[in-house]
Amino acid sequence: MKRILIVEDQPDIRKLIRMTMEFEAYEIHEASDASDASTALAMAASLQPDLIVMDVMMPGDIDGLQACARLKCDDVLRHIKLILLTARGQQKDREAGLAAGADEYLLKPFSPVQLVDTIERLMATAC
């Protein structure tokens, strides 16, 4: 079973993502007690998820862009597919997300159908 880690500091959005994915055949994990991105990196190292859905703007020492870049530079974790989910919708923000190594950049508010389609597409290309 494919494993997904949700890293989102907003409980309502985290719940929406989880509820959307519960109907699919995925093992869902949440960084609910770890709303900062640096703790989420530690969770990724221990869980070894197939995919991470991560917010860009989070409290803590590093944001989602920095966490994404660190993940993609780590030889053990770089294979993890990563979707950045954010309210930052300007072209420069999207470019920064993709430059950090994100596999996909989705804007809030997002469509649950769009999220499922994106996850399924990325999971189909996962090793």
Residue 45 has a pLDDT of: 94
pLDDT at 62: 84
Q: How far apart are CA 118 and CA 104, in angstroms?
A: 8
Task: Write the pLDDT tens digit of every residue in 44-75.
Answer: 999 999 999 999 988 778 888 999 999 999 99
Q: What is the secondary structure of 54-94 as a DSSP string?
A: EESS-SSSS-HHHHHHHHHH-TTTTTSEEEEEES--SHHHH
Express each pLDDT in 74-115 by its tens digit: 999 999 999 999 998 899 999 999 999 999 999 999 999 999
pLDDT band at 6 (very low <50, low <70, confident <90, very high): very high
Say what the pLDDT of residue 39 is. Answer: 80
Q: State how far the Cα of 81 lies from the Cα of 15, in Å rounded to an integer.
A: 21
User: Going from the N-terminus, what domains does the chain have, and what CATH number goes with each?
Assistant: 2-118 (3.40.50.2300)
Kindly state the tokens that stand for 107.
């804007």
12 vs 24: CA distance, rounded Å: 19
Instruction: Name which of 67, 62, 76, 126 is nearest 102 in CA terms.
Output: 67
